[in-house]
Structures are given as structure tokens and as C-alpha cells.
Structure 1
Amino acid sequence: MGSSPSKALTGLLCTVSIKCPRLASAAGIATTQSFQPLPFSNSDRWIVDANGKNVPVVGINWPGAAETMLPEGLGYQSIANIVQKLTETGFNTVRLTFAIEMVDDILDNGGDVTLSGTLTRALGSANGSAMLSKIISNNPQFTATMTRLEVFDAVAAGLATQDIYVHLDNHVSKAMWCCSLTDGNSWFGDTYFDTDKWIRGLSYMAAHGKANWQTFSSMGLRNELRPALTGAPNLHPYTWSTWKTYMTAAASAIYSANPDVLIYFSGLEADFNIEPAVGGSTLLDPGFSFNVSSYEWAHKLVFEMHEYDENISSSCPIYEAILESFGADATTKSGGNKAPLVISEWGHDETDASNAWQSAYSQCLTQFIVQKQLGWMVWVMAGSYYIRSGTQDSDESYGLLDHTWSNYRGVNSSAAIKQLVRSTYAAYGQ
């Protein structure tokens, strides 16, 4: 995404301080899983910790790549309150999204923008000032002159107090709501997708996280690569060979800047299709060949896949077979690039009235995740956004939390997420 509920290709198949003790939720969620030491690596199909023990990725998305370039929700809640809700639910990982534009400002445009400045620019003078007051009221350690990256640092520090891992995801280049085929962020060389600045931005954030974020575990190279319909003059061919050229270059840059973090590789078709990367070749691009073992960062690679409700099939066996044909067989692949797989975006309407948690999609996907012992990060924690597609204080029906980020959006939906948390840990013997 975030792609809910308007996924770009819907239907297309063809934080750092003394650690606080975890608390058990009222619903009895087991949230006392021990912190597994960093750095993580891959071992065959597993993510493993510094001691070689398998690591379950049980996560949620926290957006921070839209126009304000700030982690969402701070106008309604403190970082501490939001992190406590994550701990209560049982998550051990947050997929924190960012825009390359933030790094471009730091390196090319006179430095990072202040909290006051970024809110005014995104929301207007009056609304920006009002939001600034709310954010500082909730988070009194903030000031109007602190920078966007310092807010990210504060979120990372807050997550570290509860031993929650930070997975940093490059969502877009130009900060905005993602994703469409005409937003200029779609593919290498698109209107706003300068590949040199993208690689530079990833390297910068990898180094910054290494120096400043205690629980920094992993990075995602790019969110939902997809065809671009902008006609941008520097657009590269939409092929797996192009994918290999730039994704491997970016992975090498991250590894050089920070050899500790895992590196998540997304695929094509808005990250629904990763099969050629997993298999190492494709008839659609005869010149494409991908052998992970030939790279120095091979022990850091993780595949990621996104899967929203595409009405694939209401039969779980058929649904699972289709997912595997698009690369969800990464953990069992023979003769290809066998590696860990994380479903880094999936989700549905969290209101109880929708009954989406009971849909064939939700039931089949969560069953598949547990049975295959896959990692996952649900979209999304956000109950609302500072601004989304021009609408300020926009509600998010896919949000686990309500509009004010204070309570769960749905009783039954949140119970289903908590059950998935329990089942995932149990599948790992935790």
C-alpha cells in the first residue's frame, strides 16, 4: 500500500530506552514471547536470530509515507499509547513506511523539514497549526522545530521500549497515498522514481537506522512495483531483467551501509507475483536469470508478497494453489531461490458490520499463513490519516484501530487478529 481499499491492480491476476515489561491483554493474548537477539539472517526457509533460532514475523503496518512524511496517528495518541496497543495485541514487528522525498530534502534541499513546516505544507496554515498543537499535546517531548526524521527516531525508540522490531519500508519516492498506475511512483524511471536517488535514500536510511534504532531488523526495497501509465521519458522496460538490475543494486547499497538488516524483495504486479524471482527464471523474459547465492547479501534476503481480496477462489485448496503459483511456494521451492516469505501486506475492512474477517479470503489466507509458517504484517494499524488523497483526517476502514487510534475498530475483527497472533506463535512452538 498501502492499497486498501483501492488496490492499484485489484482483479489483476493474468524504539531506544530501558525496556518496559510486556503486558498481557484482557483477552489473554500471550505477549510474553522473549525478545530474539539481532541481527537476523535467513537459513533455508527460515528467518533466524543471532543464536540461530527461528523467528516468527507477526506484524502490522504503521504508515509514514504520505504528504506529511510523518508516522500517522500522533494527533490522536502518544507514541507510548499506540505502542502499548501493539504490545497488547501481540505484534512483534512494525512495518514503518517512508518516502524517498524525505531523504532528498535532507541531502538536496537544505535539510530536513520541521514538524511545523511539514504540517503547514501538507495541511495548510490553519489546519497544520491545529494539528501541530494536537501532536505536541499528545507527545510533549516534541517541539515545533524537531524534524520529520527525529519523529521517526522517536517512534523507533518507542517501539524499542516494548522489544518491537522495526521493518523500514520504502513505500514511494514522492510522498503521497499509494498506489495507482499513474502516480509517478510505479516503476523504475517513472516520473518521481529516480533510481539513483532511490538507492541513495535506501542507503541513507539503512545507515541512519543502524546508528539510531535499537530494534532495527529489516528493510523493504520498494512497495508494490507495478506498470506505469505516465509515459515518463526515462521509464525502463517493465521486465524481470529491469527488476533484477535495480533491486540487486539497491540490496547491495543497503548491505554496504548496514550489513545487519534483512532485505525484503518484492515482486511485480503490485507485489502479487514473485514467482520468477523465487524460481530464478521466466519464459516471459528469457534473458532473466536470478541466483541469490551469488550475492554477498544472500543470507539476508527475504521475499515479500502482498495479497488482498481479489476474489480468487472461495475454495481454500484452489486459493492456496494459485498463491503458490505466483511465488508463495518460496519456502518450499526446489531448484530455485528457496527463502523465507512474509506476507507484508494483507487486510480487509475491520468493522464488525462488514464480516470481512469471516470471508473466504480471510479464512483461507490466515489458514495458509499458519500452516506454511509464514511471516505476516497486516494492513493497517491506522484508524485515520493526517491527509489521504486530498482528504484531511481521512478515516481508514481497514484500520485495526478506530478513527481516534484509541480502541479496536471491531470486536470480532480484532479477536480474529489476536487468534492469528496466537496461532502463528504456536506454529513456531512459542
Structure 2
Amino acid sequence: MERTGHLRWLTSWLAVLSALFSLSLSTEIEPRASWPNGPLVTSGRWITDATGAKVTYVGINWPGSLETMIPEGLQYQSIEALVSKIKSLGMNVIRLTYATEMIDQYYDNDEKDITIQQAFVDALGQQDGMAIYEKVVSNNPSFGAETTRLQVFDAIAAECAKQEIYVHLDNHISKAGWCCSPIDGNSWWNDVYFDVNNWGRGLSFMAEHGKSWPNLMSMSLRNELRISLNDTQVASSYNWEDWYKYVRQGADAIHAANPDVLIFLSGLDSDKNLTAVVQGAALQLGTATFNRDDFEGYGDNKLVLELHVYDNILGTPSSDCSEITDRLFNAGFETLTNNATNQFPLVVTEFGFPQNESTATNSYASCLLSYFPSQHAGWMIWVLGGSYYIREGTQDRDEDWGLLSHDGSSWRSSDFVNKLLSPAVNASMAPITDDDDNSSDGGSGDDNSSAIGLRQSQPGVLLILGVLGAVTLAFCSWQ
């Protein structure tokens, strides 16, 4: 009977200790927050999510700003198939481009969007437009005669959310078409097609429309700002002082409509020059300097800088990687260092190369795809698809810079994808530790692993395990 009493006593204590162990796990191990862990914010040179984990944008461009104003490639593949291709690379974001003209037409049409059927016919003609429309609907059977362009954007955002991919909306151009040149009328504010009021209205509209997308994490103000050769008055406005005036106007429009999204600022010279912002130099022709306080309520935690780094706009192409990285540092990568007057996160929103048999051994490609991960800079390669509905007057035009083949069924250069691109994605997506944080403000902690909570709870858990083990050992010895 005495032994039975001891056994009951031990059983009771084991039950108590087991309950304490379960309580410790339930209270100290925090479950991983659900994706996308937004809204994203900035802290110094880092982007962080709602858990405090550092986030690096790694992705691809998906154009939707050419004449049809419908994201490309749907005549050959479904949205699900194309997003799955992106996901297979391990990427976490798409840069989805749109034209201000799409929103202009919405307002001109009694605040009703244009159907994709009409959009294809308007851009390609009745016969060719209907043929492409039928192919798109065949690949994407949820679409039909009443489907609008914005609903295609919605469907892409929804599929990306399903596959845990962020969406970055890019105001690529005002009048829909291929970008960019100094004579296309889209170069600078008040250019032929670049109406300032319509631009601001378009930013507000897309920011508001994107509120229904849980994965809309950021928006740009404008793609590749550049001097206009159409009008001397517009050309005389091409300076940092006017840049600052309009950038603040556009950023305020986005933030007022959707305060959750990050706002990307591009510089001068087709997005290759951020010097005045990073170095805090005078915004000429004036004497004022960039000041986060001018972006009231969000200047400290919502602004990101973007660069484009095609070899033909960085200067004379070079095979010397140190020379290339020096140019990148001077163009804007300095913002990632402690020496920068103004530290920001930096994302290279466009770069790319013709996809052919030599791309995998291209020295410029190799340099960029090793440099970006080493700097923990975000990046988005140009471009996903291998063709356009219409580009510069040519229907079904091939895109030899596209990662995908003409019909989107395979990689155009599997050697490039396997030897350079995929390793760069993996390196860029690796968790960022405190050792990687070279910012003056110290960053914001570890990656968002569920193991964090376990590490934090270890002392209490180990104590309980120790007591359980000791009691069990004693009982075994007594037996």
C-alpha cells in the first residue's frame, strides 16, 4: 500500500509538471506570424515586417503598361502558371507596371474600367484583338467578356498572395506604350502626356484600389525620370529642386490613400542617379536639402530608394567588377552605409540582360548578381515574359531579355537561371543577422523564425525538463 501511495504521489506531480511544461510552451513560444506580416516599414537601411524581421525584395518585372494596359503573356499561359514560374525561383515580389492612361480612361468612361476584350481590340484591331482575347480567356477561364483590365490586376495580385509573393505597383508611364526615350512625351512632369494632376490622381486611385490586396506592400512614384526634348520649358524644369517638389506631391497622394504601403523614390537620369538625396547635397537649382520631415507622418519609416543599373545607362560597359561596383556606389548604393548622410533601403527595380547562350558567363551579369546579395540590396530583374501583345507597332513581338521563352513554357536560358540567377536569389533571401547590420541605427533584430520564441523560452523549459528527469530518475532508483 505504501508503494501504491508513492506511485499516486509521483503520478500527481508528473501531471503537474507536465501541465507547467505545456503552459510554458504555449506562453513562451510565439507562433510565426501569418504571411505577409505587413505592413512593411523602414528603419535606416532596412525594410522590416510587422515581426521586426528584415525583408529583402527579390523578384521580377511583369509589364502591364504597354498599349493594351493588360499584364503580358496571358495569351500563352495562365496567371497561375506564370506566378508558379516566379515562385519556383524562390522570389518574393513582382514589380507590376501600369500606365496612368488606364486610370484616365476609367474616369473618362463614367468611372467604369475598360473590358479586356475592348482593350485588345483597341490596341490590335478587331480581328487580331479578338483572337488574342480568345486565347487569354482559354488560358484563364475565369475571365470573360465582362472582365476588366483592373480585374486582371486583381487576379494577379490574388494568385501572388496565394503563392506568398508581394506586389510592388510601378507607375511606369503616362500614355501607355513602350518606355523610355526623351521624346516619348512621358519623360518629366508637364511633358506632352505627363499631366501632373492626372499623375497624382492615378497614384491615389491605384493606392486605394490596391487596399483590397493583402500583398500590396509598396508603390513607386514614376519610372525612369529623364530630360524631355519636346519642350524647352519642360526641359528647364529638369532639376533636383523641381524633382523634390513633385516627388513630395506624389508621395503625399499615395500615403493619404493607403498609409500602409512603402513609397519608392527614383532619381534623375533614368533612375541611375540618387546622389543629391543620399549625400544630402543642395537640391539645385535651389539650396534646400532632402529632409524626411517634409514627408509628414511617413518620412522616417515608409521611403525606399530605387535604382536602375543597365550597363548602357551606367556608362561605358565594363568587364571589371570593381569598376562596376564603384559606379553603383556613387549612383546610390552609398545609402546602405554608415557614411551616407541619408540612409535608406535600396532596391534595384530594373536590370537585365539578353537571354542567350552566353548570358550565364556574362561578366556584368555575374558582377551584379554577386554584388546585390553582398550588400543586402533588393532587386527585380527585367523581365518575366518572352513576348508582348504589341510593342512599338509589332504584334506578338519577341522579348529576348525575357527569362521565359516566347510562349512562356520554359526558361529561355536555363544555364543563366541555374548558374547565376538561382544562386543569387538564394543568397539574397538568406536570413539577415545582427552581424550583417552595418547601419548607424542598429537595425531591428533577428529574422522571423519561429525558433526565436523557443530560444527565448529555453531557460524555463529546460528547468521543467530537468525536474521531470530528476523525479523520474529518483522513482526508477526507488523501484
Q: What is the CA distance between 1:335 and its match in structure 2?
A: 5.3
Q: 2:117 touches 2:133 (CA, 8 Å); kept in 1?
A: yes
In 1: Cα distance, 2:369 partner to 2:415 partner: 15
Q: 2:83 touches 2:160 (CA, 8 Å); kept in 1?
A: yes
Q: What is the aligned partner in structure 1 of residue 365 from structure 2?
A: 362
Can you give the 5+ residue segments of structure 1 that lack an aligned partner in the other structure?
A: 1-33
Q: 1:278 touches 1:333 (CA, 8 Å); kept in 2?
A: no
Q: What is the CA distance between 1:323 and its match in structure 2?
A: 1.3
Q: What is the aligned partner in structure 2 of residue 174 from structure 1?
A: 175
Q: TM-score, normalised by structure 2?
A: 0.80
Q: What is the CA distance between 1:36 and its match in structure 2?
A: 4.4
Q: What is the aligned partner in structure 2 of residue 103 from structure 1?
A: 103
Q: What is the CA distance between 1:368 and its match in structure 2?
A: 1.5
Q: What is the aligned partner in structure 1 of residue 75 from structure 2?
A: 75
SS at match of 2:330: helix
Q: What is the aligned partner in structure 2 of residue 336 from structure 1?
A: 341
Q: What is the CA distance between 1:285 and its match in structure 2?
A: 3.4
In 2: Cα distance, 1:358 partner to 1:336 partner: 37
- What count of residue pairs does the alignment treat as equivalent? 395
Q: What is the CA distance between 1:153 and its match in structure 2?
A: 0.7
Q: Deviations over 1:116-150 (max 9, x none)?
A: 11000000110000001000000000012211111
In 1: Cα distance, 2:167 partner to 2:386 partner: 20
Q: What is the CA distance between 1:192 and its match in structure 2?
A: 0.3
Q: What is the aligned partner in structure 1 of residue 354 from structure 2?
A: 349
Q: What is the aligned partner in structure 1 of residue 306 from structure 2?
A: 304
In 1: Cα distance, 2:240 partner to 2:233 partner: 20
Can you give the 5+ residue segments of structure 2 that lack an aligned partner in the other structure?
A: 1-33, 434-446, 448-479
Q: What is the CA distance between 1:423 and its match in structure 2?
A: 1.2
Q: What is the CA distance between 1:112 and its match in structure 2?
A: 1.5
Q: Which has the higher Rg, Structure 1 or Structure 2?
A: 2
Structure-to-structure mapping, 1:148-297, within 5 angstroms: 148-210=149-211, 212-231=212-231, 237-282=237-282, 285-295=285-295, 296-297=297-298
Q: What is the aligned partner in structure 2 of residue 51 from structure 1?
A: 51
SS at match of 2:336: coil
Shift in CA distance, 326/288, structure 1 to aligned 2, threshold 3 Å: farther
In 2: Cα distance, 1:241 partner to 1:294 partner: 13
In 1: Cα distance, 2:204 partner to 2:380 partner: 23
In 1: Cα distance, 2:114 partner to 2:281 partner: 43
Q: What is the CA distance between 1:309 and its match in structure 2?
A: 1.7
Q: 1:188 touches 1:235 (CA, 8 Å); kept in 2?
A: no
In 1: Cα distance, 2:207 partner to 2:121 partner: 28
Which residue of 369, 383, 392 maps to 2:395?
392
Residue type of the alignment partner of 1:332:
T
Q: What is the CA distance between 1:347 and its match in structure 2?
A: 0.6
Q: What is the CA distance between 1:321 and its match in structure 2?
A: 1.4
Q: What is the aligned partner in structure 1 of residue 439 from structure 2?
A: none
Residue type of the alignment partner of 2:432:
Y
Percent identity of equivalent pairs: 46
Tell me whether 1:325 sits opposite 2:325 in the alignment. Answer: no
Q: 2:228 touches 2:234 (CA, 8 Å); kept in 1?
A: no
Q: Pairwise CA RMSD of aligned residues? A: 1.8
Q: TM-score, normalised by structure 1?
A: 0.88
Q: Deviations over 1:24-44 (max 9, x none)?
A: xxxxxxxxxx94401000011
The ranges of structure 1 where at least 4 consecutive aligned residues each deviate by more than 4 angstroms after the TM superposition are 232-236
Which stretch shows the higher mean deviation, 110-119 or 384-393? 110-119
Residue type of the alignment partner of 2:64:
G
Q: What is the CA distance between 1:280 and its match in structure 2?
A: 2.3
Q: What is the CA distance between 1:428 and its match in structure 2?
A: 2.9
Residue type of the alignment partner of 2:425:
V
In 2: Cα distance, 1:182 partner to 1:65 partner: 18
Which stretch shows the higher mean deviation, 231-240 or 92-101? 231-240
Q: What is the CA distance between 1:324 and its match in structure 2?
A: 1.1
In 2: Cα distance, 1:232 partner to 1:286 partner: 20
In 2: Cα distance, 1:153 partner to 1:236 partner: 39
Q: Deviations over 1:333-385 (max 9, x none)?
A: 5352201000110110112x2x1332221122122201111000000001111
SS at match of 1:271: coil
SS at match of 2:332: helix
Which residue of 427, 430, 436 maps to 1:426?
430
In 1: Cα distance, 2:354 partner to 2:35 partner: 31
More helix by share: 2
